[in-house]
């Protein structure tokens, strides 16, 4: 037992701090003075950083402060670009600092730094986006042709001062491992009454109830099927089918760890009441309300008290969806949803070259995770798999019904799960020599399988296009 505690000391401390953050939520929620509440939230955040990181706490603190200075020292028209390159530049120095004689930081400090990057860069893009929206609104008002019922990402100019940027950046809610939430969501938490009327305790208990299962499965799977085993001679001497399916077990253990961490992180939000909105807002992870936002801000007290609420704004994982969706495209939509939203809004939709949008989004996602080659192997294979998957989806699954759809769906689920497990091996092994050692032990088979499926899909699609018109003529 003591050996287990010693080996997993950092994880136990991290888990304890997450549980502490959940526990203090109700007390934090009861603070009524807005400025006092913001200060307490920042102090708690700094306490968490210092406890997790020790002397390395200087990195997330300094990067956050310098990032805020980068935002405010440039115009609102350019602050998003300046801040983006500064924060990712600092992230690069932080991760490569050991090569230049700096003391290494823990993985948990790295997680906090990653969240700081999302918040500081995200708020800079919010500020710029709100500015552009105000310009567009003025033009539309002059032309009187702006849609009156269209929901808008930005209904007012977002331009917080230094103090509010500091409080947003270092607020304890979501600081340890997410989820990411916008500055608008943060401000709504203090200025709108929703958190006072939602059943925070009920939502938190409902969210937490699956965590013991995730933790138990993770401990069992990681003990029975350790990662390092794939690099041993014993593993290499096992049957090819065993070696081929071993990553399923590794990825299953990894998923349980992620589910546990993300669920606890969501519980920190639900416990404090951050991210609660009426369901009529059709709330989306990371974004918040997507319709009727201005009407919700103007709701009367009786309407607020009678409303139904959800916490979809701070929802990171759809666990059941992660396990059951048929396609990789859908799997990506339910995995770490808040970060997916950030990548889409900050990188994909804002990148100026349409042909390279997806590559820019993938590259930033890889760099945000880290500089290990395993991340590139894992993440950059996704669009290639999607090329083949989309072919078969439209050829066979999209228009199928009944039993046929279920059978095809199971086959596509199996292939999606197998591809994710194969990619996850690289994500977990990290270094090029370890990744190459495992992939060599299975002869890099999945790339050949994918290429064969892709070529066959192109041929089948071509045949369908050639025969389609003839079939229609014959029918007529």
**Active-site annotation, residues:** 336, 369
Beta carbons of 347 and 361 less than 8 angstroms apart: yes
User: Treating both helix axes as pointing N-terminal to C-terminal, what angle do 79-96 and 58-72 enclose, rounded to 10 degrees?
Assistant: 160
- Measure Cα distances from 404 to 339, 409, 417, 471 in Å: 35, 8, 20, 21
Would you call 309 helix, strand, or coil by DSSP?
A: strand
Report the Cα 383 to chain-centroid distance in Å.
18
Question: How many residues would you count in the chain?
Answer: 476
Q: What angle do CA 329, 372, 97 make, to 5 degrees?
A: 135
Instruction: Supply the DSSP string of 228-289, one letter for each residue.
Output: GGGGSHHHHHS-HHHHHHHHHHHHHHHHHHHHHHHHHHHHHHHHHTTT-EEGGG--BTTTB-
Rounded to a whole number, what is the largest CA-CA distance in the chain? 78
Q: Cα 361 to chain center, whole Å? A: 13
Residue 46 has phi, psi (to 5 degrees) of -65, -35
CA dihedral (219, 222, 223, 227) in degrees, to 10, reads -160
How far apart, in whole angstroms, are the C-alpha atoms of residue 13 and residue 111?
14
Of 383, 379, 354, which Cα lies nearest the Cα of 366? 379
3-state secondary structure of 461: helix
Give yes or no for a cis peptide into 179 (omega within 30° of 0).
Answer: yes
Cα 146 to Cα 93, 136, 138, 279, 298: the distances in Å are 45, 9, 9, 26, 22
| CA–CA dist 276, 408 (Å, integer) | 39
338 Cβ neighbours under 8 A, 6+ residues apart: 178, 179, 180, 181, 285, 286, 314, 315, 316
């Amino acid at each position: 037992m003591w050996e287990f505690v010693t080996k997993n000391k950092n994880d136990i401390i991290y888990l304890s701090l997450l549980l502490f953050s959940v526990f203090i939520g109700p007390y934090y929620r009861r603070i009524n003075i807005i400025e006092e509440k913001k200060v307490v939230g920042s102090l708690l955040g700094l306490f968490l950083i210092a406890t997790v990181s020790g002397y390395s706490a200087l990195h997330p603190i300094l990067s956050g402060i310098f990032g805020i200075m980068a935002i405010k020292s440039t115009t609102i028209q350019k602050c998003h670009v300046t801040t983006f390159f500064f924060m990712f530049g600092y992230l690069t120095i932080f991760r490569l600092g050991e090569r230049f004689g700096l003391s290494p930081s823990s993985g948990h400090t790295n997680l906090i730094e990653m969240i700081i990057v999302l918040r500081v860069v995200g708020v800079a893009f919010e500020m710029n986006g709100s500015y552009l929206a105000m310009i567009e609104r003025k033009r539309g008002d002059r032309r009187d042709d702006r849609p009156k019922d269209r929901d808008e990402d930005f209904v007012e100019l977002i331009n917080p001062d230094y103090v509010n940027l500091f409080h947003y950046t270092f607020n304890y809610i979501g600081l340890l491992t997410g989820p990411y939430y916008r500055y608008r969501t943060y401000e709504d938490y203090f200025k709108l009454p929703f958190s006072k009327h939602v059943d925070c305790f009920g939502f938190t208990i409902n969210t937490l109830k699956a965590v013991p299962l995730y933790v138990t499965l993770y401990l069992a799977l990681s003990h029975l099927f350790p990662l390092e085993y794939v690099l041993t001679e014993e593993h290499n001497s096992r049957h090819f089918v065993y070696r081929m399916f071993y990553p399923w077990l590794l990825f299953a253990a990894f998923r349980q760890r992620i589910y546990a961490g993300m669920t606890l992180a969501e519980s920190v939000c639900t416990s404090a009441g951050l991210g609660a909105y009426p369901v009529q807002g059709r709330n989306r992870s990371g974004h918040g309300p997507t319709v009727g936002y201005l009407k919700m801000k103007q709701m009367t007290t009786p309407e607020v008290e009678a409303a139904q609420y959800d916490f979809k704004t701070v929802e990171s994982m759809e666990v059941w969806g992660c396990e059951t969706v048929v396609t990789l495209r859908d799997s990506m939509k339910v995995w770490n949803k808040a970060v997916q939203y950030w990548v889409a809004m900050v990188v994909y939709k804002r990148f100026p070259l349409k042909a390279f949008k997806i590559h820019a989004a993938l590259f930033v996602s890889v760099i945000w995770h880290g500089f290990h080659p395993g991340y590139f192997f894992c993440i950059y294979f996704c669009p290639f798999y999607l090329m083949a998957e989309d072919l078969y989806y439209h050829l066979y699954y999209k228009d199928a019904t009944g039993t046929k759809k279920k059978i095809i769906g199971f086959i596509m689920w199996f292939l999606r799960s197998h591809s994710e497990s194969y990619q996850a091996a690289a994500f977990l092994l990290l270094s090029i020599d370890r990744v190459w050692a495992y992939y060599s032990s299975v002869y890099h088979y999945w790339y050949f399988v994918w290429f064969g499926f892709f070529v066959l899909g192109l041929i089948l699609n071509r045949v369908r296009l050639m025969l389609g018109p003839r079939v229609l003529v014959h029918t007529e």
